[in-house]
């Protein structure tokens, strides 16, 4: 939760006057919050994530106090960390956090997914090697108190991942760990729907008991989510300005993709995981960008993945599979995102819960 809070604060506070007076980064720019989020995420990955555990799939530890806990992470630990990493990625923290979130989601599905009814148990299967022998029963929390349940957070995580990476990556995407994964054979979107379906009675009879699950149901009803693509060199002032604009106002029905067209590895990742987004960005920069020194000499024009080109960060805002004209103006980005979303193909909310289990 702290990772997501710090990351979002780095963008939301950018437009606040006299931000240097705000607690806790007194005397520091808003970007200090993003660095704090990155440091927290790095600490968790270094101290609480064991990439060799689980046959190479990786396992998360529950806590840290003078060293990592011997207790394995519960489902809510995975859900909360994935949510924070997605926030960190969307705020410009780097693609590495999105990739780790995808891997953590695969592990969470492997350990906690209820294959019969959908949703997530709090603990691993008692018959598995990951089970804690002191825990005799498996429960599936259905109350969003001070901390929302694992299933509520996971439902939103899955919908966000579905908007970023339409197809769930194959286990081989995780390198040597791929053979250790046994994940449900369903898309992120289908897993989110089945999670909500498993809580349909709770949502309809006692919605105040599961407010975060209601947020997930709202997000599902707004599909397809507005997709915002910010394409520009990582860390560049114009890229940062567009990200500030994207996160300046509350817009829960969006997902954000951050692409660096000057990074060949970045473009290859999106070519594999979201071909339409990759094609749109690559085509735009191939047509509009010119080399820093004179026109392109090659017949094919400038390479959009080459760092030799001067690139202006650009935002693409799409909904219902239709995109607005690309813009480099942060003010225009704010205007587009504060407009009411246009109706899409979403059906009445309760129809989304009619999923065969």
Same domain for 213 and 240, yes or no, is no
Identify the domain boundary among 222, 237, 261.
Answer: 222
End residue of a domain, out of 157, 192, 222 = 222
Distance CA 333, CA 349 (A): 29
Q: Within a domain: residue 31?
A: no
pLDDT in tens, 21-71: 555 555 678 888 999 999 999 999 999 999 999 888 899 999 999 888 888
Tokens of 25: 């980064």
DSSP string, 25-79: STTS-THHHHHHHHHHHHHHHHHTEETTTGGGT-EEBS-BSSSB-SSBP-HHHHH
Report the pLDDT averaged over residues 271-283: 94
Same domain as 85, residue 212: yes
State the virtual CA torsion across 52, 56, 61, 65 in degrees, nearest 10. Answer: 10
Percent of the residues in the chain that have a pLDDT greater than 90, as a whole number: 60
Mean pLDDT calculated for residue range 311-336: 91
Strands 322-323 and 314-319, by their bridges, are: antiparallel
179 in any annotated domain: yes
Task: Tell me the pLDDT of the chain averaged across its residues.
Answer: 84
Q: Is residue 8 part of a domain?
A: no
- Would the pTM of this model clear 0.75, i.e. be above it? yes
- 186 and 55 together in one domain: yes
Cβ atoms 309, 303 nearer than 8 A: yes
The pLDDT value recorded for residue 30 is: 82
SS3 assignment, position 92: coil
pLDDT per residue as tens digits for the range 222-250: 888 889 999 999 999 999 999 999 999 88
Domain-embedded: residue 24: no
My answer on whether 151 and 211 are in the same domain is yes
Among the listed residues 44, 276, 85, 82, the one whose alpha carbon sits nearest the alpha carbon of residue 191: 82
Whole-number pLDDT of residue 26: 58
Q: Given this model, what pLDDT does residue 18 score?
A: 57
State the sign of the Cα–Cα–Cα–Cα dihedral 191, 192, 193, 194: positive
Residue 83 pLDDT grade (very low, low, confident, very high; cuts 50, 70, 90)? very high
Flag whether 2 is in a domain: no
Q: What is the pLDDT of residues 184-202, one digit of tens each?
A: 678 999 999 999 999 999 9
4-19 average pLDDT score: 81
Q: State the pLDDT confidence band at 355, using cuts at 50, 70 and 90.
A: very low
Instruction: Decide if 163 is inside a domain.
Output: yes
Is the model's pLDDT at 306 over the cut of 50?
no
More confident position, 179 or 73 = 73
Provide the residue range defining the domain that includes 259: 224-340
């Amino acid at each position: 939760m702290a990772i997501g809070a710090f990351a979002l604060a780095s963008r939301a506070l950018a437009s606040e006057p006299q931000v240097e007076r705000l607690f806790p980064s007194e005397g520091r720019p808003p970007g200090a919050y993003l660095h704090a989020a990155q440091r927290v995420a790095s600490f968790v990955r270094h101290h609480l994530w064991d990439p060799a555990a689980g046959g190479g799939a990786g396992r998360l530890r529950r806590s840290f106090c003078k060293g990592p806990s011997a207790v394995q992470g519960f489902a809510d630990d995975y859900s909360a960390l994935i949510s924070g990493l997605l926030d960190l990625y969307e705020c410009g923290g780097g693609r590495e956090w999105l990739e780790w979130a995808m891997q953590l989601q695969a592990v969470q599905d492997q350990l906690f997914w209820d294959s019969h009814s959908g949703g997530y148990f709090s603990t691993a299967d008692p018959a598995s090697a990951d089970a804690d022998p002191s825990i005799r029963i498996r429960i599936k929390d259905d109350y969003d108190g001070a901390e929302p349940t694992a299933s509520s957070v996971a439902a939103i995580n899955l919908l966000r991942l579905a908007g970023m990476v339409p197809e769930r990556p194959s286990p081989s995407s995780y390198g040597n760990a791929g053979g250790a994964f046994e994940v449900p054979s369903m898309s992120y979107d289908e897993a989110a729907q089945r999670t909500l379906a498993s809580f349909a009675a709770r949502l309809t009879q006692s919605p105040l008991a599961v407010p975060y699950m209601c947020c997930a149901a709202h997000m599902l009803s707004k599909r397809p989510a507005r997709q915002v693509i910010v394409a520009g060199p990582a860390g560049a002032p114009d890229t940062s300005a567009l990200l500030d604009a994207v996160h300046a106002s509350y817009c829960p029905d969006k997902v954000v993709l951050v692409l660096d067209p000057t990074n060949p590895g970045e473009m290859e990742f999106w070519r594999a995981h979201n071909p339409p987004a990759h094609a749109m960005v690559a085509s735009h920069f191939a047509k509009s960008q010119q080399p820093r020194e004179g026109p392109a000499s090659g017949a094919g024009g400038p390479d959009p993945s080459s760092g030799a080109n001067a690139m202006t960060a650009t935002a693409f805002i799409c909904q219902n599979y239709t995109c607005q004209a690309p813009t480099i103006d942060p003010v225009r980005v704010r205007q587009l995102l504060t407009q009411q979303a246009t109706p899409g193909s979403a059906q009445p909310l309760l129809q989304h819960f009619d999923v065969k289990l």
